[in-house]
Each structure stands twice: as structure tokens, then as C-alpha cells.
Structure 1
């Protein structure tokens, strides 16, 4: 049987993914850079083994993975780079390597048949960790409701007591220090000569 692939679909087209249901034997699908969001709905694609959703607008990782587990049971290659759901330190300065490791563990927990995730081969160690800890690696963000934000009064926090803010009530301490710093244990001073001071 011939292998079918739709290839890259340009983002400029206004299209729906409903038409993919006609391609029941589709094996590869590249949907990179198509402004797809959390409302992504794929039809049942039982033979799909490769899916790339790079550089889209996907933020809800768990919802996406549950949907993919349901409609793409043969999925082995998945790439989500460039989405908010994929914590990549190259894209976001707030993320680090540990965030990415937790993400991989959670994805492998939800989709245990994956062989490659984000252009990196899934290792045996990652697969074992996903079995043990994967369910606990979900990143949960607290949702701020508009009621709680409006109800909380703005506090003007200051680390200083209110009495010490006035110039007349200053209470300083003056004393002698017994320790004298000679600098002989300082690493920086070992390279400075007397003629350079």
C-alpha cells in the first residue's frame, strides 16, 4: 500500500481539519505554523504515526494529549516545539531544562507509544520514569478569578516599620568591629601586585 502524506499546509489558507476524515489511511501530518490553538479537533486517524504541530498557539497540553491518545492510537512521532504548551528554554526565558524534562515525562505518560518527541529519541530511562512519575508531572497554574482580584485590597507593603520612615525618628547604631579584613584569603588579590594599587 502506498504511503500518503499531505505535506505542509500554508498558514494563509482558511481551512478546517474536518476534511482530514476522508484520509483514513493518512500516516504523516505536518501542521506547523498554522495558528492552531486549544480548540484543535482531529478526526479519527488510526494509521497516523507522525504528527508535527510546531509553532502553533497550543497552551493546554493535557487536553491535547488526551485528544491525541483518543484519535491517533498509532502515534509514534510527535513534535510540539514553539507552542506555549512545550516549555522550551530557547523560546521562553522563564523555562529551563527541568521544565522540559517534566514536560517530556508527562507527554510520555499520556502517550506511551511515542518513539520520538520534539526531534529527540525517547530513551528507556525516560519511558521508565514516565511510568512511575508521569502522572505527577503535570504543570498546574492557579487560575485567578476576577472576584478574588477585585475583593483583595491593594496593600502597600514595606519592609520597614512605619515609625522609621520619618527622618526625625531615626535610630542608628554605631560601634566598633573587631574583625579586620586583610584580604590575604581573597582570590582576587592574588593577581594584583603592589605597583598596581
Structure 2
């Protein structure tokens, strides 16, 4: 799967939507961008073993990108895609939230929908049993402070009160990196006198975008779970 050859039986291309899933690719096959790069506005490369996004810039019209269940880590480079609105990175190997968000700020100015569930960088019980709702809420404030155009983060729509809270407190919830001689994991420091309050899932807003996320807050059923994948309006 590493060269120019692709498995045509695993490839689906229709209405400018390209899917190439479950092929254990460690990189994007050049044949995909050579044949479809100028045509695609939706790309699904989930359930592979992708470690690099080299060649992604060849998909010049891309608006939606699904990279769930791959092996993308902190060293990955995100090629610029000026029209990208939806990015799903569920179940990868991303730990450094601050570095990731800085990359996304630089590369994807139009980003409106982002999902990072089942990465260490996303502090909830899918990635760490020691995390709770307050840890997750502080993470949301930080991400929304940095990516102020987001309408949806993970499985939850961004509410106006949450956006307002993020604009005033998000700077204080930034990820603090340990020094090089410390062997500790990333933490997110709460702002002074901060009391987390869980925000309910807003079911009434689901289904208004063709790439919206699942109805439940968290859903995980194993390695090949589809619970965090996008669903179409017709499926709701």
C-alpha cells in the first residue's frame, strides 16, 4: 500500500467524495492525489496506519477530512488547506494539545468542526480514566479560545455561553509542557477561582450540517468503533 498502487476494491469516489479506508497505509498513496486531488472536497482515510500527511496539500479543494483510527502523532505536519472546514482526528496518538492547536491555527483558517476524541491530548475518559468532566471542560475552553471559529468540538456543539467563557478564561487553561528533564504527562492548569460546570449536549442542534457528530456525548465500542464517525442528515 506504500507506493503508487491502490486497492481499487477499497476505493470509493462519488460526488466529489473520496474514501480509502482500512488498507493499513502509513502514508497517503500518491495515486490518490494524482487521480483525485483536484476533484475531492471530502476525503476519508480512516482505519489505516497513517503517520504522515505528505501530499495532502494536493487536495486543493478539500473541505472535510476524516483521519480517525490512524497513527498520527505530535510530529505530524498539517499541510495548508485554506478551505478545510471539518477535521476528525479521533483515536490517533496526539499528546501535545498546545502544539496541535497551533498547527491547526496556521494551516486551517476556515476550520469550523473538529474532533479529537480518544487522543491523550483530549482529556476525557475515552483516553484517560483519571480525567473527569472538569478536565474536559477546561480543554474545551482552551481549544475554543485558540480556534474561535469552531461551531462543533468533539461530540458537542459550541454554545454561546461556552464561547464567551472561552474568550475570557481560555488563555489561562493552556497546556503547560514539562521541562525536558521531567517525566510527567501534560496537564491543563485551571484559571484562578475557576469552577467547572458541565454543559449539556444540545440535541436540538444536531443534524444541521452534513458532517455532524453522533448524538451521544461519548461512544466507544472498541478498535473499530464507528461511534465517533460522521453521520449524514439522512441517517438521523
Normalised to the residue count of structure 1, the TM-score between the two structures is 0.68
Per-residue CA deviation, residues 117-149 of structure 1 (Å, 9 max, x unaligned), is 002100101100111010100232544627xxx
User: Does structure 1 conserve the Cα–Cα contact (< 8 Å) formed by 2:112 and 2:149?
Assistant: yes
Per-residue CA deviation, residues 81-126 of structure 1 (Å, 9 max, x unaligned), is 0000000124422101000000000000110000000021001011
2:162 maps to 126
The change in CA–CA distance for 1:46 and 1:88 in structure 2 (over 3 A counts) is same
Partner-residue secondary structure (3-state), 2:65? strand
User: Does structure 2 conserve the Cα–Cα contact (< 8 Å) formed by 1:87 and 1:100?
Assistant: yes
Aligned length: 145
CA–CA separation in structure 2 for the residues paired with 1:132 and 1:8? 41
Which of the two has greater helix per residue?
A: 1
Instruction: Compute the displacement of 1:8 (Å).
Output: 5.5
What is the alpha-carbon root mean square deviation over aligned residues? Answer: 1.9
Q: Name structure 2 gaps, 5 residues minimum.
A: 1-13, 28-51, 183-236
2:95 to 59, 64, 73: 59
The change in CA–CA distance for 1:7 and 1:62 in structure 2 (over 3 A counts) is farther
Partner-residue secondary structure (3-state), 1:29? strand
2:25 to 1, 13, 20: 13
In the TM superposition, 1:152-167 aligns within 5 A as none
Normalised to the residue count of structure 2, the TM-score between the two structures is 0.57
Instruction: Compute the displacement of 1:17 (Å).
Output: 1.4
User: Does structure 2 conserve the Cα–Cα contact (< 8 Å) formed by 1:9 and 1:30?
Assistant: no
User: Does structure 1 conserve the Cα–Cα contact (< 8 Å) formed by 2:94 and 2:121?
Assistant: yes
User: Does structure 2 conserve the Cα–Cα contact (< 8 Å) formed by 1:38 and 1:57?
Assistant: yes
Per-residue CA deviation, residues 14-55 of structure 1 (Å, 9 max, x unaligned), is 214121111111011001111100011111101100000000
CA–CA separation in structure 1 for the residues paired with 2:21 and 2:107? 20
Structure showing greater radius of gyration is 1
The change in CA–CA distance for 1:89 and 1:50 in structure 2 (over 3 A counts) is same
Q: Name structure 1 gaps, 5 residues minimum.
A: 147-197
